[in-house]
Amino acid sequence: MTERFVSEHFKSPDSHLVATDGLQYQQPSITHGRTDIVSLTPWLAPIVWEGTFNPVLLDSVYQKKNISIAVTVFAVGKYIMFMKDFLETAEQHFFVGFRVHVHVFTDRPNEVPKVKMADGRKLSVHSVPNSKRWQEISARRMEMIQKLIEEKLKGDMDYIFCLDVDSKFHGRWGTESLGELVAVIHPGYYRDHRSRFPYERRSASRAYMAPDEGDFYYCGGAFGGLLKEVHQLAQTCRKNFEDDAKEGIEAAWQEESHLNRYMWINKPSKVLSPEYLWQDFKPRNPEILIIRFSGVVKNYNDIRPN
Ligand code: UDP
Ligand code: MN
């Protein structure tokens, strides 16, 4: 699919931000704010942390635009057990008051729990094959995201977020997270030097990152943006993964490695702090004022096929 096709077939929401006249909110400051975190990348993309945005203001701006958000979530094999908590907590915290369409990909369509969803929110189930290797399940997500966007979403939804199922929402995840290309900083490495990031380090792989390369280590468990941008990301990561496979190489962390390579070259326009994907087993660091979404503790031996 050519770039030309992509730009002609995806609508983008109007970038004009219209405020609600009469809305009262705290005066913003350019000299006072959080001093314990960095909220801008060197390419001037916002890094979203609690205390850097006004949710009421942002929601009022985006409500006017009547935006819609697609979500993809994969629950293959035993991972179906995470689906209920994921869906129930998404109802409580994820884009509350907005149009949300959750796309569940599973080999067990009959086991997708029935969760009551608010008006304007819906769920679709897509059948996918099982696999003997978790690496393959994880890696094939990019292909399915690419196809979903091409076949079902274009011209219909505005934004998309692709999320791991083994996680729960604990706090607001909303309009502050919207952007053209959105990456989430992995909670495990954000205080480390880039040479220690678990990037793919073999130059034979298309996901290769040299020791002196890399901005942040982003997680494969959450990313998103405009359909057009996420389509390009999924298509590129899928192709690089498959071309690697033809040469007998699988990147260290499968599609997460390819995503990190992609985001190094294609800088995200918005970066979400580790508030947006924490891990339940990790003690909360002091700069984490709120945990919005977090991976549950799981026993890999019990749930993965290999
Ligand atoms: N996944 C799945 N079934 C599997 C393995 C993985 O559905 O057997 C999907 C699921 O959405 C999961 C994601 O792939 O959240 C990534 O795998 P996992 O969460 O195990 O990776 P981790 O977050 O532990 O690195
Ligand atoms: Mn996970």
The string of DSSP codes covering 100-136 is EEEEEEES-GGGS------TTEEEEEEE----S-HHH
In a domain, 190, yes or no: yes
Per the structure, the count of domains in the chain is 1
Predicted pLDDT of residue 2: 46
Residue 262, marked binder: no
pLDDT digits (tens, 9 = 90+) for 120-166: 999 999 999 998 888 888 778 999 999 999 998 888 889 999 999 99
In a domain, 171, yes or no: yes
**Structural domain of residue 183, as residue ranges?**
45-298
6 pLDDT band, cuts 50/70/90, is low
Give me the chain's average pLDDT, please: 95
pLDDT at 245 over 60: yes
CATH at 156: 3.90.550.10
Strand order in the sheet with 121-127: 47-48, 270-272, 181-185, 218-226, 159-163, 68-75, 99-106, 121-127
Distance (Å, whole) CA 188 – CA 280: 12
Cβ-Cβ contacts under 8 Å for 282 (sequence gap 6 or more): 187, 188
Region 31-38: mean pLDDT is 97
166 in contact with ligand 1, CB cutoff 6 A:
yes
pLDDT digits (tens, 9 = 90+) for 210-229: 999 999 999 999 999 999 99
In a domain, 96, yes or no: yes
Mutual angle of helices 227-246 and 254-265, in 10-degree steps: 120
Asked if residue 183 lies in contact with residue 263, where contact means CB atoms within 8 angstroms, the answer is yes
pLDDT at 299 over 80: yes
Predicted pLDDT of residue 145: 97
Distance (Å, whole) CA 98 – CA 224: 16
Asked if residue 278 lies in contact with residue 173, where contact means CB atoms within 8 angstroms, the answer is no
Nearest protein Cα to ligand 1, atom 15: 164
Q: Collapsing DSSP states into helix, strand and coil, what is residue 167?
A: strand
In a domain, 183, yes or no: yes
Cβ-Cβ contacts under 8 Å for 50 (sequence gap 6 or more): 275, 289, 290
**pTM (2 d.p.):** 0.96
In a domain, 5, yes or no: no
Region 41-67: mean pLDDT is 97
CA of 293 to the centre of ligand 2 (A): 11
Residue from 164, 168, 259 to probe ligand 1 pocket by mutation (most atoms less than 8 Å from CB):
164
Residue 165, marked binder: yes
pLDDT at 281 over 90: yes
pLDDT at 80 over 50: yes
80 in contact with ligand 1, CB cutoff 6 A:
no
Active site residues: 256
In a domain, 243, yes or no: yes
CA of 50 to the centre of ligand 2 (A): 23
In a domain, 37, yes or no: no
Q: What ligand 1 atom has the least distance to the C-alpha of 256?
A: 25
Predicted pLDDT of residue 168: 98
Task: Identify which of 145, 156, 146, 150 has the alpha carbon closest to the alpha carbon of residue 122.
Answer: 156
In a domain, 305, yes or no: no
Nearest protein Cα to ligand 1, atom 17: 138
Residue 71, marked binder: no
77 in contact with ligand 1, CB cutoff 6 A:
yes
Predicted pLDDT of residue 5: 52
